[in-house]
Chain A
Amino acid sequence: MTLHPDLTPGRWGTLTLAEQLGNAGADVGRAIRAREGGAELRLVSNLNRALAQLDLTLADPRWAGHRRREIARAREVVCDLLAGDNVYGSTPASVEQWFMAYAFEARAGR
């Protein structure tokens, strides 16, 4: 299983965009660290979780339009970095930073 059964599209749709991308980014970060540590199985499971959450985000009707295009590009960059040839020349830090901005917004005031 990749995602917790409670993470349904309905539940995901109650989250803000910052919460969705912050959570997906947490798994992206774990996948990056797993790769750095040579933990191949953990890399795959974290990447799968990240992509499943990004797919739920892409399917969220609230983000139709320019937001959805940026989310799709972010997904592409994650795949390129962690499962592709890194043709975009991303760095782990740059990708983490993009998601962390949303995580901070989601936790603002805590």
Chain B
Amino acid sequence: MLCLTELRYRLVARNPPGREHGGVQIVAGQITVAELSAMAEATFGDLVKAVADVRRGLLAVDAAMHSDLEALLLDAGASQADLWGINLYPAEHGTPGFLEFDSMINLRPGQGNRTRSVEDPAIRVAITELVGRVVVP
């Protein structure tokens, strides 16, 4: 298993010019709203895709698809049952619109989750708290 620092180094090292500080990564510590805004502007315009590992308290961000982040966290030792896809809208930080529970990776009928949302309120709370700890103004 790769340590997170090494994993992040490898991923950032292959980013194209202009994206040296963005790209698929597991957030080491915290990330600012300004950093998320830069990621959004360089990619989708208004949102950053993220996957939360609710058991280990990790957040992976900035990929084209949630499944890229799911794979990254699985490679780093996560269990799939702990991974949930979300979208972050940095321009709406501080409002309910900042965090959106919506991802194809959340479709897990075998785990009782039959929509792209996160149906278990306790898991939504855990994700919200995780995002609140990791994303700072």
Contact = CB atoms under 8 A, between A and B. Distances in A.
B108 A41 contact: no
Given A11-B64, A110-B108, A110-B110, A4 B100 contact: no
Contact of A4 (B44, B103, B104): B44
**Which of B63, B64, B68, B102 neighbours the largest number of chain A CB atoms within 10 Å of its CB?**
B64
Contacts of A65: none
Contact of B104 (A2, A26, A49): A26
Contact of A103 (B80, B87, B110, B116): B116
Q: Interface size class for chain A?
A: 20 to 34
Contacts of B75: none
B45 A103 contact: no
Interface SS, A side: helix
Contacts of A2: 44-45
Interface SS, B side: loop
**Which of B45, B68, B108 neighbours the largest number of chain A CB atoms within 10 Å of its CB?**
B45
Interface string B44-81: 11110000000000000001110010000000000010
Contacts of A3: 44, 64
Contact of B41 (A1, A41, A106): A1
Interface of B: 16, 19, 41-47, 63-65, 68, 80, 87, 89, 97, 100, 102-105, 107-110, 116
